[in-house]
Structure 1
Amino acid sequence: MTLVSSTPLLTEARKQGYGIVAFNVHTLEMLQAVVEAAEESRSPLILQTTVGTVKHLGIDYIVGAAQAAAKQASVPIALHLDHCQDFELILKCIRSGYTSVMIDQSMHPFERNVEMTKKVVEVARALGVNVEAELGKVGGVEDDIQVSEDMATLADPEECRRFVELTGVTTLAPAIGTAHGIYKGEPNIDFKRIGEIAERVSVPLVLHGGSGIPEAQVKRCVSLGMAKMNVATELKNAFTLSLQKFFSEHPDDLDPRSYMSVAKKTVKQMALEKMKLCGCTNRA
């Protein structure tokens, strides 16, 4: 297979009431691990990279690895650029083979967000590339984007309807009380707001800040219309902690194939658990 647009995958997920997990990957081993998990569980998969990871690894290396994975896989795989504010970088990623992009202008007034999102949609639509945008401000830290708790704002349901209508965006990430990073306590998710947004908006909704949300809350979000859940911090932390543990137990084993294999298994196990949680197993 080749990399596919996430639009039909997410449209089907919302229609059938399950969620697809989008995993932020930073290394080849992380990418391989989530692909193996998707194959094993027969789950559709969204590989996701932040702007920081794009700068760290390079667009061509990321796309090359994702395309190689998609070619060998029997499940559909999409490649998504997460939280990008740079229109030119979005164009580069689309030209290079990304099948989904997020234009994040949520820090600007509604009119500016509409204008920039519409600009990306006009380019992406012709190529069948999915476009995600955000309304409201999700708190926490995502790469170099930092939104303090007092600056986080929830999305207005009626604004969400207008936004989708005005932009033609194919997926929407409304701020509903989740946060990027690991929660200090229970996340304060506004389920009523999700329901009100879902009533007005037919496109798939995206749950940002998916790391560490209690299982029952994830399932409720998915049942209300969240067709995509992003998992970044939890996966990254599991990968790194497994390396720390390996070196504490095997300080003299400096073979990357040894410690990376262990980290890869850890990531794969977490990916399998998240896919089962969102209900996308056996949906490929």
Structure 2
Amino acid sequence: MYDIAVVGGGPAGLSAAVQARARGKSVVVIGGDARDNALYKTRRIDNYLGFYGVAGPELLERFEAHAREMGVERRNGRVLNILPMGTEFYLAVGSEVEQARAVVLATGVVQAGKLPGEAEHLGAGVSYCATCDGMLYRNKEVVVIGRAADAPHEANYLREIGCRVTYVSPRPPEGLRPDIPYVQAGKLRVLGDRAVEAVQADSVTLPCEGVFILRPSMAPAELLPGLELEGNYIRVDRNMAASVPGVFAAGDCTGQPLQVSKAVGEGQVAGHRAAEYVDTLIQTG
């Protein structure tokens, strides 16, 4: 079990992790492909103090290198849900589980809402994890809706275990197996009565029994039930504490302005307060 689990590997999450390590805490940062990070997609940054004109990927690599040197552990994956259990948290990462005494949410902004028909078919054909549920659809038709950079890799995995896969995304994917059909579409809908029967992709209907919707991260309210929001952002106090005890948040997921300097500063506070929270647990436990 870790002292602190950080969900998100951007500036806020890495800042929180470095601060917590500076206070002697064991820390794991759980995040997906770096190409999904907003900072990675930024070609030039002029408003981060001391780094005028720096490219986003270069700055992100410096942050990651700093965290590695501090002993921060990294876990590649997508956190699907977080379950508080007394003084611990269980984080479902794909088909596996991590445990921590405190959590820092640094998920960034989840840009897209649910697709029409997605919520109604959750557990009845809609999945967010290929490795978790793929074997349920062996020899069956499935659709992968790729919104994350690693989605083609997961589609390839489904094909390798025997699923009949069709890949759908707004832009041509990189690294997709040539034997997986690709449909370019932006407007999507999950169809079916009680269970998934098809995906409507623009004007094309794709019959299937399962649909894997692969986004870079889950929306905070879906990750952790009971988490209070202000609009689409996580509600926090001056200590970056969220409404659930032991949970802190930092960066773009807490609101405007969506800038690196704010993310790093909030991450520092969140990591510091999370470490203090863990100290209190240990002293009273």
Interval containing the TM-score (normalised by the shorter chain): 0.3 to 0.5
The TM-score with structure 1 as length reference comes to 0.34
Computing the radius of gyration over CA atoms, which structure comes out larger, 1 or 2? Answer: 2
The TM-score with structure 2 as length reference comes to 0.34
**More strand per residue: 1 or 2?**
2
**More helix per residue: 1 or 2?**
1
